[in-house]
Structure 1
Amino acid sequence: MLTASERHRLKKMAYGHKTPHQGRQRATIVLLAARGRSNARIAAQTRMHVDTVRTWRGRFVAGGLPALADRKRSGRPVSFSALQVAEVKALACQLPAETGTPLSRWSCPELAREVVARAIAPAISASTVRRWLKADAIKPWQHQSWIFIRDPDFRAKAARVLDLYARTFDGTLLDEDEYVISADEKTSIQARCRCHPTLAPGQARAMRVNHEYDRGGALAYLAAYDVHRARVFGRCEPQTGIVPFMNLATQVMTTEPYASARRVFWIVDNGSSHRGKKAIDRLTRMFPNAVMVHTPMHASWTNQIEIFFSIVQRKVVSPNDFTNLREVRDRLRAFEDRYNATAQPFQWRFTTSDLDELLARLDRHTLGQQEESSARPAA
């Protein structure tokens, strides 16, 4: 006799849409048997062999519901040892140049050939290597560019920028009449006139942009972004340089509330238009209430204007299809007005605490690499 719980679970197995076919058959056999039907009748009703019905009735009687699951099988003997798997993964984590292989990076077929050449295994397929690497998310065929921190004052410079985003400078909160401006240049925006008009998207069809184009020249787009008021000031120039950047500074600093502000902090990177002490003195000499603050070397990601430039690239420039440079200027100017009408300050969450954690993690990584390098035997 079945208990109420067993009957409920068997019905769920027999009629459930997500139950595997074999599980549904076995549950059906037990339910029919519980109604007092013979093996032959159950076999005829379920279109299974009578021996199959007898087997699963007997297993249920002996072991209950758990006995309806498949028994463990020994399976095919293991072809590769755990040591071989580890050696393949270790090889994938080495640069090909370190092994004397004339490759820039590993692929699964190349790793399979190298494994055989090193006698790690007599034969192995690329799919096997791929399956092993996937288990540990190892992808040696991919690469990512990065820049190592070289600025000795990286922490101090980056912390000063991050504090300004939090409306703090030298440990003191900014007043209401103090502002933070993030500025930079987006160079070489081209006017590409497509040889065939761009086709609008349609049903099950993306926008189509012709591959061939005529060059209509290029310009530089300079922009200054008020970090806390989410207001953009932009201008187009034939090229970047000291004069175009100072034109941008004049455009902002002669506009209220910046003209009469107590201090206006200008966050810039180390580009040639505003690099070093000379750029600081130049800006201060022309506008005494302006304070230039440089980001660390190779750390433009700390400058919020780069976020605005990424928006411009996605929403204004790409795909590049302009008749001439005047059309580029007009669209950039119109987009500034559209952006300023609805923009909100960026939700910048990277703080000095996050900076300290990042630098500590880089220090640990660098120390680990140095220890690993010193532990390797000399060639």
Structure 2
Amino acid sequence: MTTTERRRLKKAAWGHKTPHQLRQRAHIVLLAARGRSNAAIAAEIGVHLDTVRRWRGRFADQRLPGLADRERSGRPRSFTALHRAQVKALACQLPAETGVPLSHWSCPELAAELEGRGITGPISSSTVRRWLREEAIKPRQHRSWIFITDPDLRSKAERVLDLYARTWGGEPLGRDEYVISADEKTSIQARCRCHPTLAPGQARAMRVNHTYGRGGALAYLAAYDVDQARTFGRTEPRTGIAPVMALVSQVMSQEPYASAKRVFWIVDNGSSHRGQTAADRLAAAFPNAVLVHTPVHASWLNQVEVYFSVVQRKVVSPNDFPDLTQVGDRLRAFEDRYNAATAQPFQWKFTT
């Protein structure tokens, strides 16, 4: 045994991270190098005599590489690449289209269906799950979306996106021109929980009682200045033309909007501000106001929806209000807090 071999064997025999089998084999060879007999080595280490003979002989023939495990042929594959492709193809079909009365596939259902159709032999759901994970196929998840059917989608969307980029008709907006995004958040309920909400504690989330009494609902109307990140809001018993015009008056009656050259109001196609009639009504009340509609079914182009998502997460959920008065007070208090400390222009990434 060379000095290098002895040093490496000692490191393997007493190394903390050495696998047990390799440590045992290193001990066998080191004891053999000291002149111990096979029987004495087997008794000291606690292995069979044939085990000592095997590793002593392997080291004599192949030196250190002989102490490693030889490659095993292993069991033949039960499933081919074609089987994998067929499993993934079935997972990418709706069950109803294949005659199965399910809304979506689960891995156990897929495994049973594959075996029932004779595509594969017996197959476990964990195998199916592993194959689907390779391609990030998630048949149990779904997302809601909507087709945009507005024939004027391009022209309407371009006007809105140009305003966010502070241009109108190909000309940049001046310093005395402003862009307002406005909408209504309808039916904010006051749900009075039958038992008090418990604050979070150590290893315990906030607890909100499932049973509640209904205390009515109100609408929250908001106008968001896109460039200055300032929000103007009000609560109303219901939506309609009068509440919308009250919001417009609340904004347009104060500076800098009252004396602005133009104030562009971006709204969706809700019934209270739909069509040319709403544009004419706004222009008649405030000559410097210009109403701009988003495309139909494209309210995501309205930046105030982002603010409403913040309100939903931080104010409304979980809904636990004794009455509508507290709902209105919370909304107004959050609006003041948001304008004073948190508000900053949204990082809008949609462009023409």
Q: Same fold, TM exceeding 0.5?
A: yes
The residue identity in structure 2 corresponding to 1:237 is: E
> Percent of pairs identical after alignment?
69
Per the TM alignment, residue 42 of structure 1 is displaced from its structure 2 partner at its CA by: 6.6
Gaps in structure 2 of 5+ consecutive residues: none
What residue is the counterpart of 1:15 in the other structure? 15
Q: Is the 8 A contact 1:14 1:23 kept in 2?
A: no
Q: Is the 8 A contact 1:39 1:53 kept in 2?
A: no
- 1:108-147 to structure 2, matched below 5 A, reads 108-147=107-146
What residue is the counterpart of 2:176 in the other structure? 177
What residue is the counterpart of 2:187 in the other structure? 188
Gaps in structure 1 of 5+ consecutive residues: 356-379
Q: Tell me the SS of whatever aligns to 1:340.
A: helix
Larger Rg: 2
Distance 1:38 1:211, change over 3 A: same
What residue is the counterpart of 1:92 in the other structure? 91
Q: Tell me the SS of whatever aligns to 2:189.
A: strand
Q: Separation in 2 of the partners of 1:289 and 1:9? A: 88
Per the TM alignment, residue 131 of structure 1 is displaced from its structure 2 partner at its CA by: 2.6
Give CA-to-partner distance per residue, 1:214-252, whole Å, 9 cap, x none: 111100001111111111100000111111111111111
Per the TM alignment, residue 47 of structure 1 is displaced from its structure 2 partner at its CA by: 4.9
What residue is the counterpart of 1:367 in the other structure? none
1:317 equivalent to 2:316? Answer yes
Q: Tell me the SS of whatever aligns to 2:191.
A: strand
What residue is the counterpart of 2:203 in the other structure? 204
What residue is the counterpart of 1:298 in the other structure? 297
Per the TM alignment, residue 9 of structure 1 is displaced from its structure 2 partner at its CA by: 10
What residue is the counterpart of 1:106 in the other structure? 105
Q: Is the 8 A contact 1:2 1:34 kept in 2?
A: no
Distance 1:10 1:183, change over 3 A: farther
Per the TM alignment, residue 160 of structure 1 is displaced from its structure 2 partner at its CA by: 2.5
What residue is the counterpart of 2:337 in the other structure? 338
Q: Separation in 1 of the partners of 2:156 and 2:26? A: 70
Q: Separation in 2 of the partners of 1:89 and 1:97? A: 16
Distance 1:33 1:103, change over 3 A: same
- Give the count of matched residue pairs: 350
TM-score by length of 1: 0.81
Q: Separation in 2 of the partners of 1:168 and 1:57? A: 84
Q: Tell me the SS of whatever aligns to 1:341.
A: helix
Per the TM alignment, residue 141 of structure 1 is displaced from its structure 2 partner at its CA by: 2.3
Distance 1:75 1:336, change over 3 A: same
CA RMSD of aligned residues (A): 2.9
More deviation, 19-28/156-165: 19-28
Q: Separation in 2 of the partners of 1:39 and 1:133? A: 55
More deviation, 124-133/90-99: 124-133
Distance 1:28 1:342, change over 3 A: farther
Per the TM alignment, residue 129 of structure 1 is displaced from its structure 2 partner at its CA by: 2.4
Per the TM alignment, residue 55 of structure 1 is displaced from its structure 2 partner at its CA by: 4.5
Q: Separation in 2 of the partners of 1:110 and 1:128? A: 13
Q: Is the 8 A contact 1:14 1:25 kept in 2?
A: no
Q: Is the 8 A contact 1:88 1:129 kept in 2?
A: yes
Q: Is the 8 A contact 1:231 1:343 kept in 2?
A: no
- 1:1-379 to structure 2, matched below 5 A, reads 1=2, 3=4, 11=11, 15-17=15-17, 20-25=19-24, 32=30, 47-49=46-48, 51-52=50-51, 55-56=54-55, 59=58, 68-352=67-351
Q: Is the 8 A contact 1:227 1:345 kept in 2?
A: no
Per the TM alignment, residue 140 of structure 1 is displaced from its structure 2 partner at its CA by: 1.8
Q: Separation in 2 of the partners of 1:163 and 1:209? A: 44
